[in-house]
Amino acid sequence: MPETKVQRYLRELYALYKVENIFQLKLKLNDNWLYEIRKKIEINKKDRINYILISFLNKDILNLNETHLILEVSRRLLNEDLKAVQQILEKFNLTYRSLNSKGIELIGNEGDKKKLFNTTLFYLFLERDYLPTIFNFLFYDFDQVIDEKIQAFTFNRIKKISSYMHTYLILKIQLLLYIGIIRNNKILNFYKLRDEIKIISKFCDENADRNIYKYNKTKKNEVDRFIKHLNKFINFSKPVLNELDTAESLIQLFRLIEYKNVFKIKKYYLLNKSFQNEHKEKRMLYITLTDLIEDYFWKKLKYKIDSFDKITFFLLLHEFVTLNNKKRINNQKNIIVYNFLQKIILNRLVKDLESEAVIISDVVSSYALKSYLENNSVKNIIIFESIDFQSFIKIDESISVIKLSLPFEREDLFNINIT
C-alpha cells in the first residue's frame, strides 16, 4: 500500500472520530484496538509459507491435517504452498519427505535447519506488529524463553562493543539463543549452545564500533559516493564523513535499507504537525534533502526508502547543510526505550532532552527492557517510535509511557503530564 494512501485513510479516520491525531484516535477506540485489527488481517500466501517453516522449529514433523485447519485453506492450496516451501528449503540445502498418515518431515543438516529458522524468525520479528494472530504463539513462546537471564547475557555481550545496543543485533543474538534452546528441548545448556556462542562472538566483533570500517568496506565506498553525489546539489558546511559517529551511522543505515528492500519491509513515520507547519525553513530543507536522497537510492541502487529512512537521513545530515519554557522532570528516573533508532540519533535526543532539563538515566532497547526493569527503578519511559509494549511485557502502572515526536520539538515537552 502506498504511503499516501495510508495518510489518506488516517485523515478519514480522524474526520470520522473527530480527533486531530493518532494518539487521540487510539484513545477513542479501546485498549485492544491493535489486537482486534490483527485478528481481522487476512492470512496471505507469504504468511502461510512462513507458518509452515516455523512449524518445524519444535519438531521436524508437520501434521498437514492440523495445518490446513489452522491456516483455513484447502488441501489443494496447501499443496501449492508446499511447492513454494520446497523452493525455499533448497536454498538452505534442505528438503522434506512425505510420511504416510503423519504429514511431512524436514530433512537435512541441523546447522542448515537453524539457518533457515533464523532467517525466517528474523523477518517475522521485524514484522511482528503487522502479522495475523496465527503467529501469536511464537512471540509468546519467545518472551517466555528469552527471560531476564538471557537478556542480561545479551546486554553484557553487546555493552562491551558499543555504547548503545542496536536492536537488530540484539534480536539476532536472542534468536540464535532461542532457536538453540528450542532445538535442545527447551533446555538452556551453554555447552550445547557452543556453536551459537561462536556465531555471537563473530557478530559482536563485526559490529563493534572500532571495527565498523574493517568489515564494511563496500558500504563505506557506497556512502562516499552518496555524499559526493549530494555535494553536487547542496553545500555542506563541514565534511560529513570526518564526523566518525555520522559516518558509522550512514554505513549502518545503508545496510539497513538494503536489508529492508531484500525482505520488502517498510516503516512508516508521520512527521508531527509543528515540524511541518511552524518551521517552514526546516521543512523546506527536509523536503529538498529527502527528495534528493530518495531519487539517488532509486536511480543508483534501485532501492526505495521509506518515511523512517527519510527522517533518519534528515537527522543525520541536516546540521551539515548550509541553507521557551522548560518542563522540569529531572528529579525522576527517565529512560528512553527504542527499537530501530541509531546510536547517533539517540545521543542527540539525549542531549536535546537534557538541554530542556529532562535528565535521561539510560537508553534501553525494547529487547532488553524486561531485564532492565527487573533491576532498576523507572518513573518515565520516553519513546519516539511506535512500540507495542503490551505484546511482550507488562509495564507497571506506576511507570508513565511518554510518546514524543521525531524530530524532537521543544513544544512536545508541554504534552508531558508528570505529577
* Domain assignments of the chain as residue spans, ordered by start: 3-30, 45-138, 146-211, 217-320, 334-415
Looking at per-residue pLDDT, the higher value among 104 and 165 belongs to 104
Asked if 373 and 326 count as a contact pair (C-beta separation under 8 A), the reply is no
pLDDT at 325: 35
Q: Report, as an integer, the average pLDDT of 163-171.
A: 75
What is the identity of the amino acid at 344? Answer: I
pLDDT at 328: 39
- Over 70: is that where the pLDDT of 11 sits? yes
Range with the poorest average pLDDT among 25-34, 164-173, 313-322, 407-416? 25-34
pLDDT at 214: 86
pLDDT bracket for residue 164 (50, 70, 90)? low
Q: Report, as an integer, the average pLDDT of 218-230.
A: 92
In angstroms, rounded to a whole number, what is the distance separating the alpha carbons of residues 349 and 343? 10
pLDDT at 135: 93
* CA–CA distances in Å: residue 169 to residues 172, 247, 256, 290, 342: 5, 19, 12, 27, 12
What is the identity of the amino acid at 304? Answer: K
Range with the poorest average pLDDT among 199-203, 334-338, 355-359? 355-359
Straight-line distance from the first to the last Cα atom of the chain, in angstroms, rounded to the nearest whole number: 41
pLDDT bracket for residue 178 (50, 70, 90)? very high
Average pLDDT, the chain: 82
Asked if 311 and 407 count as a contact pair (C-beta separation under 8 A), the reply is yes
Asked if 289 and 319 count as a contact pair (C-beta separation under 8 A), the reply is no
Highest mean pLDDT range out of 213-227, 238-252, 315-329?
A: 213-227
Q: What does the angle CA 245 – CA 251 – CA 254 come to, to the nearest 5 degrees?
A: 140
Q: Are strands 103-107 and 380-383 parallel, antiparallel or unpaired?
A: unpaired
One-character DSSP codes across 332-398: S-EEEEESS--HHHHHHHHHHHHHTT--EEEEEEGGGHHHHHHHS--SEEEESS---GGGT-PPPTT
Range with the poorest average pLDDT among 169-173, 278-282, 386-390? 278-282
Asked if 383 and 338 count as a contact pair (C-beta separation under 8 A), the reply is yes
Burial level of 180, CB count in 10 A (0-12/13-18/19+)?
buried
Extract the C-alpha cell encoding 147: 527471560
pLDDT at 268: 63
- Over 90: is that where the pLDDT of 286 sits? no
pLDDT at 180: 94
pLDDT bracket for residue 30 (50, 70, 90)? low
Q: Report, as an integer, the average pLDDT of 274-279.
A: 54
pLDDT at 329: 42
CATH of domain 45-138: 1.10.10
pLDDT at 225: 93
Q: Report, as an integer, the average pLDDT of 298-305.
A: 88
pLDDT tens for 54-86 read 999 999 999 988 898 899 888 889 999 999 999
- Over 60: is that where the pLDDT of 330 sits? no
- Over 70: is that where the pLDDT of 364 sits? yes
Q: Which helix (H) or strand (E) holds 96?
A: strand 95-99
pLDDT bracket for residue 410 (50, 70, 90)? low
In angstroms, rounded to a whole number, what is the distance separating the alpha carbons of residues 16 and 322? 42
pLDDT bracket for residue 36 (50, 70, 90)? low
pLDDT at 338: 94
Determine what percent of the chain is predicted with pLDDT higher than 90. Answer: 28
pLDDT at 88: 94
pLDDT at 327: 38
Q: pTM value?
A: 0.68
pLDDT at 418: 45
Residues sharing a CB contact under 8 Å with residue 136, sequence separation 6 or more, in sequence order: none
Looking at per-residue pLDDT, the higher value among 346 and 19 belongs to 346
pLDDT bracket for residue 177 (50, 70, 90)? very high
Q: Report, as an integer, the average pLDDT of 296-320.
A: 88
Q: Give which of 397, 403, 388 is closest to 34, Cα–Cα.
A: 388
Packed helices 45-55 and 110-126: angle between N→C axes, nearest 10 degrees: 140
- Over 90: is that where the pLDDT of 245 sits? no
- Over 50: is that where the pLDDT of 258 sits? yes
Q: Report, as an integer, the average pLDDT of 127-138.
A: 87
